[in-house]
Amino acid sequence: MTDRTADPHDPRPLIGEPLALDLLNTRWAGTPVNDLLDEPDGLRIWLSSAGLADRCRADGAGLVALRQAREALAAAVRDLDERGAVSGSAAAGLNEVLRHGRLRRELGAAGPAEHVEVDGPQWLAAWLAVDDFLALLGRGAHRIKKCAHEACILHFLDTSQNGRRRWCSMAVCGNRAKAARHYEKARA
């Protein structure tokens, strides 16, 4: 896709997951739940961290399209968590976003090339995120996981060899779980 360097203003606890999961992770635990896409400045930060700032505008129309994509992705991942497969209604939400774009391939002087074409510039980031989700499903839906910490709502792609990663971050959620187990043992 593009080179990705996290925006220094990005407040999210987990950055750098594949684009679809990175979009899902624009919401993270808090009271109330933190939401980077509450306003256009958050969209600007996300586009920068996702490596899309030079391709996508941070405007109201793009924010609406990206929120629609995030909701569709959230429904699909919720289905994967609960049933192990994406339901028809969740697939319809994903397909609605995908209807706004297409991939055009051609052979040019430099060789094969692919170009994303979208109905309007506001759909580019949303379409790319949902398209990335389809690619993740192709790699194995079982590798798309929700963090095992009960208070965490983040998702990650499990790239571990044995597929047993449980935490979005061992340094944060994994250590919290270890500390809680240690505390319970000490109390007993």
Contact 154, 146 (CB under 8 A): yes
Per cent of the chain over pLDDT 70 is 90
Task: Indicate the domain borders of the chain.
Answer: 19-142
Half-sphere exposure at residue 55, Cβ-oriented, CA atoms within 13 angstroms = 20
21-56, pLDDT tens digit by residue? 999 999 999 999 999 999 889 999 999 999 999 999
What local confidence, expressed as pLDDT, does residue 171 receive? 73
| 118: β partners | 101
DSSP state of 165: -
90-137, pLDDT tens digit by residue? 999 999 999 999 999 999 999 999 999 999 999 999 999 999 999 999
Task: Look at residue 1 and tell me whether its pLDDT is greater than 50.
Answer: no
Triad 111, 116, 119: Cα angle to 5° = 150
Task: Look at residue 68 and tell me whether its pLDDT is greater than 80.
Answer: yes
The strand pair at 101-108 and 111-118 is best described as antiparallel
Task: Look at residue 5 and tell me whether its pLDDT is greater than 90.
Answer: no
* Band of pLDDT at residue 182, cut at 50, 70 and 90: very low
Q: Which of 79, 78, 46, 86 is nearest to 65 (CA)?
A: 46
Tell how far CA 80 is from the center of its chain. Answer: 14
| Global model pTM greater than 0.85 | yes
Name the CATH superfamily housing domain 19-142: Jann2411-like domain (1.10.3300.10)
**CA distance linking residue 177 with residue 172, whole number of Å:** 9
